[in-house]
Amino acid sequence: MNTAVAIIGAGPAGLLLGHALHAAGVEAVILERQTRAHVEGRIRAGVLERTTTDLVERLGLGDRLRREGMIETGFSLADGQRLIRIDVEALTGRQLTVYGQTELTKDLIEAAGVRGLEIVWEAADVALHGLDSEAPEVSFARDGRPERLRCAFVAGCDGYHGVSRRAVPAAAGREYERAYPFGWLGILADVPPCHHELIYSNHERGFALASMRSPTRSRYYVQVPLDEKLEDWPDERLWDELAVRLGPEAAAAMTRGPALEKSIAPLRSFVFEPMRFGRLCLAGDAAHIVPPTGAKGLNLAASDVAYLSEALIAWFRRGEGALVEGYSERALARVWKAARFSWYLTNLMHRFPGAGAFDRAMQVAELDYVAGSAAMRTAIAENYVGLPL
């Protein structure tokens, strides 16, 4: 097989990149090790920045997002006594859209079939070869038969545990990582949200988040120790804990229901530099992970795609290599700012094991400063709604 760009991974980053290249007449093939049903069933975040929705609209893929997405103009930080509202629209002139990543992934996959963007599902034993040459190749197995995909570039969009980043020689890259000493226990339920906007709560028992996927589907989280067991959290216990941590106002409006999905996810900050090695370009979770506190994961993947698609289109259509050469530096400038904001909000809103009275006093002072300073609320709003490309 031959193609211009071999894309590893059919998550949002790989799918968006494939559509962007296909729309510009640049041939691409996406290789995905999982089944279509598995990819479409993964539960992920759903707060989209304007940069992400603009990209989806530019590609002509936003019909359902536009119909079903929920426009958000702000969110709140709860400090145990009050809700500190961050009026994103008033402070930045921009809005956010709540639309589940699962639904966006389904839209992109369905459109791929209609538009002729090739996705190879259940591609096994994927390996990358000749990345520092002008003719890299990707080997894989399809239905048990070995195949080889020849290309000019490989786009590694296969996530933190994928093969792409591991194909970069150790001496050619550097990892930056912080693992947090807690996780998020999440519940997804077909119940209306307890509030029309997201609530991030810093409670003495730990962090909690009230969010939504639609007017009838809610997503809630509580901070738990890393060794917590899912079986120790029946639905009723989790709803009770959410009611305590989110406060009486949210609890009074909370509708309880059976869990569609429950899981515990660890939190980490991770950045890999550089995001390009030879003819391999990394995008999305293959290059960086942020804690979900700042709602940046999917949005960073989309901004990577905006930069990378522009660079590859310039290469193939105009023979210009400067944007490919500068892709890593350009993308990382935005990645590090998003990583900083996610780290900041995580430190502000969570209770850390071993933290003392001074640490708590600093959180209280910071939240009080946010409540009283329009400049601070503006800084938070600018980062939350998404920095410009």
**Per-residue pLDDT, 39:** 96
Domains 5-69+101-177+269-345 and 180-267+352-385 share a fold: no
Residue 139, Cβ density class (10 Å: 0-12 exposed, 13-18 middle, ≥19 buried)? middle
**Per-residue pLDDT, 45:** 77
Nearest to 370 by CA among 82, 92, 59, 54: 82
Residue 235, Cβ density class (10 Å: 0-12 exposed, 13-18 middle, ≥19 buried)? middle
CA 206/CA 222 separation, integer angstroms: 7
Domain 180-267+352-385 carries which CATH code? Answer: 3.30.9.10
Helices (H) and strands (E) in the chain, counts: 14, 20
Q: Against a cut of 0.85, is the pTM above it?
A: yes
Nearest to 156 by CA among 34, 284, 28: 284
Domain ranges across the chain: 5-69+101-177+269-345, 180-267+352-385
**Per-residue pLDDT, 369:** 97
Residues 6+ apart with CB under 8 A from 53: 62, 65, 69, 97
What does the pLDDT profile of the chain (389 residues) look like in tens digits?
999 999 999 999 999 999 999 999 999 999 999 999 999 998 777 899 999 999 999 999 999 999 999 999 999 999 878 899 999 999 999 999 999 899 999 999 999 999 999 999 999 999 999 999 999 999 999 999 999 999 999 999 999 999 999 999 999 999 999 999 999 999 999 999 999 999 999 999 999 999 999 999 999 999 999 999 999 999 999 999 999 999 999 999 999 999 999 999 999 999 999 999 999 999 999 999 999 999 999 999 999 999 999 999 999 999 999 999 999 999 999 999 999 999 999 999 999 999 999 999 999 999 999 999 999 999 999 999 999 99
**Per-residue pLDDT, 43:** 78
Looking at domain 5-69+101-177+269-345, its CATH architecture is 3-Layer(bba) Sandwich (3.50)
